[in-house]
Chains A and B, each alone.
Chain A
Amino acid sequence: MEGQNRWDRARVESIARSLKDAPGALMPILRRVQDELGWVPPDSIPLIANILNLSRAEVHGVVSFYHDFRHAPPGKNVIRLCRAESCQAMGSSALADHVRDRLKCDFGETSSDGRFTLEAVYCLGNCACSPAMVINGELVGRVTPGRFDETMDRLDGGRR
């Protein structure tokens, strides 16, 4: 639990201070916190609010509005599967069932061993190569259950 709650206060503070004078600074700050830490720790909200002279409620409102901002740290591997129409037309629903079974977690969840976070995403712009997903930041097109398993087997082999 303690490990889960640890977050890099100094890093968040430095990001917020370096961007605070940009017009509409809150979004670039949250974006960078999310990108560098992988989540937006709740404790960073009062810190950012203070630096931008905003209320905590205002910052919380923005953090909670956008799907990208995670409220908890993700698993070691992040799998994002497109669930929008083009991918649906190419069998993403069956693929989604397969992925859920393999990772032993549902969309929006992290597996109990902390290895995988599974997220739904609505269009990756790779519709001409549907179905598409992102595995640890890497876009993959024309995914089949078999091709997904091969990638997962490689992750398993490397114990990631």
Chain B
Amino acid sequence: MTHKGRTVYVPRDSGARSLGAEAVADTIAAQAASRGLDVRIVRNGSRGLYWLEPLVEVETGRGRIAYGPISAADVPSLFAANFLDGGTQRLALGVTDEIPYLKSQERLTFERVGLIDPLSLDGYLEHGGYRGLERALSMSGDRIVEEVTASGLRGRGGAGFPAGIKWKTTLQINARQKYIVCNADEGDSGTFADRMIMEGDPFLLIEGMTIAGLAVGATRGYIYLRSEYPDASRTLYDAIALAEDNNYLGANIRGCGKTFKIEVRVGAGAYICGEETAMLESLEGKRGMVRFKPPLPAVAGLFGRPTVVNNVVTLASVPLILQNGGAFYQAYGMDRSRGTNPIQLAGNIKRPGLIEKAFGISLREIIYDYGGGTASGRPVRAVQVGGPLGAYFPESMLDLPLDYEAVAAKGGLLGHGGVVVFDDTVDLAAQARYAMEFCALESCGKCTPCRIGSTRGIEVIDRIIAGRNGDKSAALDLLLDLCETMSASSLCALGGLTPLPVKSALKNFPEDFGLKSANDYR
């Protein structure tokens, strides 16, 4: 038979599963069996082309051929069209790597996500895995840190702090115990890059954490994972066990004499635990209350010991930097934002997904060239960049390049790289109110501007919305004053940045607050 030993890929990514990938995989297996065909089904991660999920791929002589979005009901027609030989069918997309959305990307960190079975260590090794660690094993901690510093890698969680400097601080401290903590509490709406890595290429994160451990002299690592990611949790547990069984984790890693162990800790639904010091408190078994800084976690972090806290994408960027050298990574990007950034495109968008590109691509390219405009077909009216603490930008500002400093210069933040698109039915006054509501809901309560300010913020926005006919100036003055207090005197980014979505909504969309123009409010 021509299809003997064909390999079919059906993602195990939770996004694909949420659209019926399990039923698709089961139906393909059942149909193949009933037709007497030898089909091996590999459950890969997602390619990140979510509007095409569940995306089924077949390995052929021409490369992997894609079909999507496939439902279980479409499966018989796939067989009828001889998809195992790459036959043409209504939902055929051609060679996966040639799909423009994917082909035009610069996939460095995500090079294997969607390509391999995430729990095949052999697959990971065949596709270039563990070469970074191999090189790191022959280097001193200082040299590893130098390489990371030279790459220009900055924290992808949102703060954008240079990873090399953080690592160097911890490296230089003498301590009996140091820790690596991976921040996998990806709570920003519109973001899913961490999840895709953990579900689609978990060994990459494990390798990155191990290199970090070797670099700074830490022997223990914790992955603080949000509870909303049960699939990632299962995949990480299995991958860690496989790495331990194959001596990539544990004592005397690959015979180098060094020890590194990783434990997954699952959170309990508190957004604030994505803040690094609240996360450390939570890992210590306490309420997730933000700590005062200094001391920095790099000096006195988990259980008072020197601790490197890095986001999933940051740590997952490290293996390639070690493999190819810092200069290789540094060659991508613009200005002080070096390397690539996985942008996550979501909300009301025709083609949502993950777009890994060098820093500097504009919002317009992301939303129109990649995203194809809104899913509703209505005009784009507002775009929130950087999660719930990020600014709302109007259509007229979409030429903004996505770079840490460029977004900050326009009163926003790049954050974890989430882009949420809204069409013209959005009410920005309601979104501003929601920003305050979210802050009130998730505030740890330690500092007054955040704890009390957020609730007063909801009330004063309600007064502005309700006071259509009255004089708004008093309430507006109050809101702006409150925003200033929160920005200037909150302990962490939650209270400190909640004013960003509020003020940007007011400035860019004054009509939604019943104001004639942006000038009305100042």
Contact = CB atoms under 8 A, between A and B. Distances in A.
Residue of A25, A123, A142 with highest tally of chain B CB at under 10 A: A123
A128 B268 contact: no
A125 interface: yes
Given A27-B283, A128-B353, A122 B265 contact: no
Interface stretch (B109-117, B132-140, B209-217, B223-231): B223-231
A85 B352 contact: no
Contacts of A140: 18
Contact of B422 (A65, A66, A89, A139): A89
Contact-residue bracket for chain B: 35 or more
Given A84-B388, A122-B189, A127-B346, A139 B18 contact: yes
A132 B192 contact: no
Interface in A26-69: 26-28, 30-31, 34, 61-62, 65-69
Contact of A125 (B191, B353, B422): B191
B266 interface: yes
Contact of B431 (A62, A85, A123, A141): A85
Nearest to B194: A125
Contacts of A24: 265, 282-286, 303
Contacts of A26: 285-286
B404 to A, nearest CB: 21
A127 B50 CA distance: 10
B394 to A, nearest CB: 15
Interface in B1-52: 14-15, 17-19, 48, 50-51
B101 interface: no
Contact of B438 (A23, A122, A124): A122
Contacts of B353: 128
Interface string B440-451: 011010000000
Contact of A129 (B53, B303, B388, B438): B53
Given A90-B347, A129-B15, A85 B388 contact: yes
A66 B445 CA distance: 13
Contact-residue bracket for chain A: 35 or more
A65 B287 contact: yes
Nearest to A121: B228
A126 interface: yes
Interface string B273-288: 0000000001111111
A82 B347 CA distance: 12
Given A85-B420, A125-B191, A129-B19, A68 B227 contact: yes
A123 B431 CA distance: 16
Contacts of A126: 14-15, 18, 192
A139 B17 contact: yes
A86 B345 CA distance: 10
A129 B18 CA distance: 8
Interface of A: 23-28, 30-31, 34, 61-62, 65-69, 82, 84-90, 121-130, 132, 137, 139-142
Interface of B: 14-15, 17-19, 48, 50-51, 53, 186-192, 194-195, 227-231, 265-271, 282-288, 303, 344-348, 352-354, 375, 384, 388, 418, 420-423, 426, 431, 434, 438, 441-442, 444
21 contacts: A23-B303, A24-B282, A24-B284, A27-B283, A27-B285, A62-B287, A84-B189, A85-B347, A85-B420, A85-B434, A89-B347, A89-B422, A89-B423, A89-B426, A125-B15, A126-B192, A127-B191, A127-B352, A128-B353, A128-B354, A130-B347
- 9 closest pairs, A vs B, by CB? A84-B189, A128-B50, A66-B268, A26-B285, A141-B18, A127-B346, A89-B347, A24-B285, A67-B269
